[in-house]
A and B are shown apart, each in its own frame.
Chain A
Amino acid sequence: QVQMVQSGAEVTKPGASVKVSCKAAGYTFSDYYIHWIQLTPGQGLEWMGWINPHSGDTNYAQKFQGWVTLTRDTSISTAHMELSRLKPDDTAVYYCAREKQAAYFDYWGQGTLVTVSS
């Protein structure tokens, strides 16, 4: 069955970087775009961007452009999201999700809590 398994919680300091992974299983990794979504108590769910696992092409929301980098490693069916120059306001749960029909997310990862605190 399809699964999206994310890496564990991270605690880091302001100005640092962190990399979150999302391992896909149960389907052909290159066939479906993977998106990343941020959940914060104040803003709710925000779409961050997508990566095409086949080509490596990416698309970012303007808010996340420049400090979020999406990559993938097709050899291990894993998508990565690197967050850089982190601020306390970036404390959130980050989800990966598989896109279907260019229209919706049919499978989500379990979420990764990233805490930014001095």
Chain B
Amino acid sequence: DIVMTQSPLSLPVTPGEPASISCRSTQSLLHSNGNNYLGWYLQKPGQSPHLLIYLASNRASGVSDRFSGSGSGTDFILKISRVEAEDVGVYYCMQALETPWTFGQGTKVEIK
């Protein structure tokens, strides 16, 4: 199975400041079609997870442009350009290159 490792696991942030989360996979997520099968999800308190970024760098519909995804192969980054209070929750990366699809452990983002 592909193992996904996120860091940090806890991220205290200051509103207005940037933040970033790293996600590393044990195998390359680059498909022969040129896409990296990596997505980012946010689970806000009391809610279901929702999609932020798909195929490593594509922002999902309705997602703020403060969120961006980058990376290729085995190393990926989620960046928040300016953190807002509504961004708190647990962020997960997930690979969908092969089954079983696997998630990172989650990064809990909270306001300082």
A contact residues vs B (CB 8 Å cutoff): 35, 44-47, 59, 61-62, 95, 100-106, 108-111
Contacts and interface: CB of A to CB of B under 8 A. Distances in A.
The contact size tier of chain B is: 20 to 34
A47 B103 contact: yes
Contact of A103 (B37, B49, B92): B37
Interface in B28-69: 35, 37, 39, 41, 48-51, 54-55, 60
B96 A44 contact: no
Nearest to A96: B48
Most buried by B among A61, A101, A104, A106: A104
Given A103-B37, A103-B39, A104-B39, A47 B100 contact: yes
A59 B96 CA distance: 14
Contacts of A44: 92, 103-106
Contact of B50 (A59, A101, A108): A108
Given A44-B105, A45-B103, A103-B55, A108 B96 contact: no
Nearest to B31: A103
Given A45-B106, A46-B103, A47-B101, A102 B96 contact: yes
Contact of B96 (A61, A62, A104, A110): A104
Contacts of B41: 105
A106 B99 CA distance: 18
Ranked nearest first, the 8 interchain pairs of A and B with the lowest CB-CB distance are: A61-B100, A104-B54, A104-B39, A108-B48, A47-B101, A45-B103, A103-B96, A44-B106
B72 interface: no
B102 A47 contact: yes
Contacts of A47: 94, 99-103
A49 to B, nearest CB: 8
B55 A59 contact: no
